[in-house]
Amino acid sequence: MAVSYEVRGKVAVVTIDRPEARNAVDLPTAEALHRAWLDFDDDEDAVVGVLTGAGGTFSAGADLKTFDLVNRPEGSFGFTRRIVSKPTIAAVAGYAVAGGLEMALWCDLRVAGEDAVFGYFERRFGIPMLDGGTQRLPRLIGLGRSLDMILTGRPVHAEEAYRIGLIDRLVPVGSELEAALELAEAIAGFPGETVRSDRLAVYEGLGRSLEDGLAIEDRHGRHVMEAAAAGAARFAAGAGRGGSPVDPF
């Protein structure tokens, strides 16, 4: 199978498994990715999703040998124009280039090994970005740095990517998935309703005025006040004092 879906505790791991093609995505792989993220959204056991690639590479993007992807409403990779309801993390080893970079940017957070390389390598072949590359990167690292990457297609190695905020955790080579799972499990240990509502408020507020953003935050916050009351009661009973860990909900 070109894509595997596995639930480990409260974390779903979606793996692109075409190492012979550097995990490049053809049409069957895009369709499998579409199904995997639909399954994740519907899976009550999965609280956080991790996207990774097999064989020491994240993804080289679209498979230019088959060049059979379809510009579908969900994105040509099957999911990149969707916003799933739960947090996602990219575990990046090796190359995350062209559409591979766009898939990594789709995730909320990125954990990358010291051998990771990012870049819009499709610039050399005149292939446009259709899976969020021109929109998500500027929101993440700013206009100037984004245009530098978009217009030149140059490789950005892991250390620079970490410095400019393209990745959130820089880890030793080979430990990317383990570190991403550890981060995912930490997030999964928090009260899920509030994690999801705060995350959604961030996305809905992007590009809006501060006034509109505050109204969005208030609307989502009001929906989880029952969970907030339960959390306040736990604190009042002595849990989490002094910043100490709190048992998972």
State the catalytic residues. 102, 122
Task: Report the alpha-carbon distance of residue 50 to residue 186 in Å, rounded.
Answer: 13
At position 108, the amino acid (one-letter code) is: D
Task: Report the alpha-carbon distance of residue 127 to residue 239 in Å, rounded.
Answer: 54
Largest CA distance in the chain: 61
For tokens 């970005």, the residue is 129
Helices and strands per DSSP (H, E), number in the chain: 9, 9
The DSSP secondary-structure symbol of 155 reads: -
Task: Report the alpha-carbon distance of residue 2 to residue 33 in Å, rounded.
Answer: 9
Q: Are 204 and 223 in contact (CB under 8 A)?
A: no
At position 192, the amino acid (one-letter code) is: G
Task: Report the alpha-carbon distance of residue 249 to residue 247 in Å, rounded.
Answer: 6
Task: Report the alpha-carbon distance of residue 183 to residue 11 in Å, rounded.
Answer: 10
Q: Is 136 helix (H, G, I), strand (E, B) or coil?
A: helix
The neighbour count for residue 219, using CB atoms within 10 Å, is: 12
